[in-house]
Amino acid sequence: MKRIDNILTGSSVRACRGRQSMATVLRAGLVALAALTLTACQGTDVDSRPYEKRADGSWGRGEEERDTIFGKGGINLLGGKSKDEDAGGAGVAVNAFLWRASLDTVSFMPLSSADPFGGVIITDWYTPPETPDERFKVNVYILGRALRSDGLKVSVFRQERGRSGQWVDVAVAPAVTTEFENAVLTRARQLRSAAGS
């Protein structure tokens, strides 16, 4: 019986010592991992210049951009504003002047949908009070962040009420679409001039 107790006691002592050594190895591993992490942080090139408020309202260390393997300023993955784009504002994924000008131009029509990140404005049907038997609908697509004439596409739809009371699609003259685009571009240029850029 004593042999079994000795064997059991001996195995439990060995198991306890094994747990202690395992805990010691884990602690040593965690300390080594922490040391490696801190060493990796130490190796970075820390800029000692203080943060300053820039002209565009953002905060940073000076105006120069870092030179990386992807060129000056690196890669723009999160949609930040680059210096060569005429963005006209922040918070909108398309040109802010074109966006605002488009909304101003269609302000007399009811909006069905407006997506500033996709650059799409869709109006609902609008019936002019002077011609109750016709109605119009406009889709505006802002295609980029630059304030350019090719950064805007407008589609105008027109319907007339038929004899049976049903709305019937009618062709729209291309000049109407061109005039609408010109009105948006003119308003966008006015907004840019007023902003002083």
The pLDDT tens digits for 143-169 are 988 888 899 999 999 999 999 999 999
CB 159 within 8 A of CB 132: no
The pLDDT tens digits for 40-90 are 555 445 455 555 656 666 655 555 555 555 555 555 555 555 544 444 445
Per-residue burial over 45-82, b if 16 or more Cβ lie within 10 Å, else e, is eeeeeeeeeeeeeeeeeeeeeeeeeeeeeeeeeeeeee
Distance, in Å, from the CA atom of 111 to the CA atom of 186, rounded to the nearest integer, reads 21
Global pTM reads 0.54
Distance, in Å, from the CA atom of 139 to the CA atom of 111, rounded to the nearest integer, reads 10
